[in-house]
Amino acid sequence: MITFEGVTKRYRDGTVAVDDLSLEVPTGAITVFVGPSGCGKTTSLRMINRMIDATSGRIALDGQDVREIDPPTLRRGIGYVIQQAGLFPHRKIVDNVATVPYLLGWSRKKARARAMELLELVGLDASLASRYPFQLSGGQQQRVGVARALAADPPVLLMDEPFSAVDPIVRASLQDELLRLQSELRKTIVFVTHDIDEAVKLGDTVAVMRVGGRLAQMAGPATLLTEPADDFVREFLGRDRGIRRLSFISAKEVRLSPAPSALVIDEDGRPLGWRTGDGLAAYGTFNPETDSLRVALDAALLSPNGIAVAVDEAGRVRGVAGRDAIDELLAEHAPPAAGPFRDAGSPRAAGSPPAGSPPGGSGAGISEGVPT
């Protein structure tokens, strides 16, 4: 268990990044720190492995004050994963994964064998081991980052926005993969994100933070969604409701246009890619009959020209939809006024009617989340 007891971090310039934070991170579970940009998530995380030292208060690891543990020893037991993986560009994948075992003085053979085992664990093909990071996709690099953090089998994993730089579809599969891994490994994970959907999906416990480094609420995801502690939490949960709402709208009514000639199609009518100057670019598809508007939007975001390809059950092209067509349908389904739990039809909110719903829509609290 990791314990924060009245932890405050004041940077030299006077910024109070974390203010009197007290909370417990249970062993063997995923605890998510979520909140708007600048609310002190990264600072809180880095105080655990002493990349940053607290100004006052105490952080304990299974009862022992982290200040009593020398940083290299401390970090040996704590894996650390960051956005864009932070891989060494000039080292092969296998050697990136083996970084910590090498530091620990393992033989090259043993370290590499461990690295190969980990690549398999995170779902990467052994043939990628001898490549360099730039030869991998963003999602694959992120998996390598996770494998590297797990190399010395640390009981604790700190993950700082690890999936924030990849597209929504890859992000979802990385999240699924993390949950699968965790069901086997049962690490103590502290996961930082600004994305409330990600927090609710991954967290056994979710700590919502507000700017100034204050804890607004800590609870299980279901409780958080049904019993937000105050207006700030309510607003923060509701902020992404525009996007979340899309999952409950069918893509059936999306206005389709004929596929432009830039979309290359095989002889069976299935898409191959968007023609560009030097080849074929990625495309995203949705099936208007069975998919939600969320899938359509993800499909649009996946292709460089922002156009989603509509396909039938057999994967044959039926037409295309640009962002304008998707936005049009969204506008038709726009809620009359704000109120985070208006989408009470959502599975998460099921059984929790919007009774006692907030006045909402004031925007109070959200303005704190100006990106820094």
Ligand X SMILES: Nc1ncnc2c1ncn2[C@@H]1O[C@H](COP(=O)(O)OP(=O)(O)O)[C@@H](O)[C@H]1O
Sign of CA dihedral 85, 86, 88, 94: negative
- Least CB distance to ligand X at residue 11 (A): 3
Give me the residue label for tokens 């975001």.
Answer: 301
What phi and psi values does residue 31 have, to the nearest 5 degrees?
-110, 125
Beta bridge partners of 8: 56
Task: Determine if 193 is a binding residue for Mg ion (CB under 5 A).
Answer: no
Segment 88-127, which members bind Mg ion (CB under 5 A)?
Answer: none
Task: Determine if 17 is a binding residue for ligand X (CB under 6 A).
Answer: yes
- Is residue 208 within 8 A of residue 251, CB to CB? The reply is no
Sign of CA dihedral 52, 56, 61, 66: positive
Identify which range of 8-16, 241-249, 287-295, 297-305 contacts ligand X by CB under 6 A.
Answer: 8-16
Q: Given the complex with ligand X, which of 41 and 348 has the nearer CB atom?
A: 41
The option from Mg ion, ligand X, none interacting with 13 (CB < 5 to 8 A, set by class) reads ligand X
- Is residue 59 within 8 A of residue 24, CB to CB? The reply is no
Task: Determine if 285 is a binding residue for Mg ion (CB under 5 A).
Answer: no
State which of residues 22, 27, 37, 257 lies at the interface with ligand X (CB under 6 A): 37
Identify which range of 11-19, 107-115, 118-126, 265-273 contacts ligand X by CB under 6 A.
Answer: 11-19
- Least CB distance to Mg ion at residue 48 (A): 14
Dihedral of CA atoms 56, 26, 73, 104 in degrees, nearest 10, equals: -150
What phi and psi values does residue 303 have, to the nearest 5 degrees?
-100, 145
Task: Determine if 40 is a binding residue for ligand X (CB under 6 A).
Answer: yes
Task: Determine if 49 is a binding residue for ligand X (CB under 6 A).
Answer: no
Task: Determine if 39 is a binding residue for ligand X (CB under 6 A).
Answer: yes
Identify which range of 10-18, 150-158, 236-244, 332-340 contacts ligand X by CB under 6 A.
Answer: 10-18
The option from Mg ion, ligand X, none interacting with 15 (CB < 5 to 8 A, set by class) reads ligand X
State which of residues 31, 42, 140, 175 lies at the interface with ligand X (CB under 6 A): 42
The option from Mg ion, ligand X, none interacting with 38 (CB < 5 to 8 A, set by class) reads ligand X
How many alpha carbons fall within 13 Å on the CB side of residue 367?
4
State which of residues 1, 6, 11, 255 lies at the interface with ligand X (CB under 6 A): 11
Separation of alpha carbons 199 and 233, rounded Å: 13
Query: How far, CA to CA in Å, does 252 sit from each of 262, 269, 323, 354?
Result: 24, 20, 15, 28
Number of chain residues interacting with ligand X (CB under 6 A): 13
Separation of alpha carbons 40 and 47, rounded Å: 11
Query: How far, CA to CA in Å, does 2 sit from each of 8, 56, 181, 187?
Result: 16, 16, 21, 12
What phi and psi values does residue 348 have, to the nearest 5 degrees?
-65, -35
Dig out the tokens for 148 from the structure: 């590297």
Identify which range of 13-21, 224-232, 293-301, 313-321 contacts ligand X by CB under 6 A.
Answer: 13-21
Give the x-and-dash track for 40-79 against Mg ion (CB under 5 A): --x-------------------------------------
The option from Mg ion, ligand X, none interacting with 40 (CB < 5 to 8 A, set by class) reads ligand X
Give the x-and-dash track for 6-45 against Mg ion (CB under 5 A): ------------------------------------x---
Beta strand pairing status for 271-276 and 263-265? antiparallel
Q: Does residue 79 sit in helix, strand or coil?
A: strand
State which of residues 1, 6, 15, 240 lies at the interface with ligand X (CB under 6 A): 15
What phi and psi values does residue 315 have, to the nearest 5 degrees?
85, 10
**Strand arrangement of the beta sheet that strand 263-265 belongs to:** 263-265, 271-276, 279-281
Identify which range of 31-39, 255-263, 271-279, 317-325 contacts ligand X by CB under 6 A.
Answer: 31-39
Q: Given the complex with Mg ion, which of 42 and 217 has the nearer CB atom?
A: 42
Task: Determine if 43 is a binding residue for ligand X (CB under 6 A).
Answer: yes
Binding site for ligand X (CB under 6 A): 11, 13, 15, 17, 35, 37-43, 372
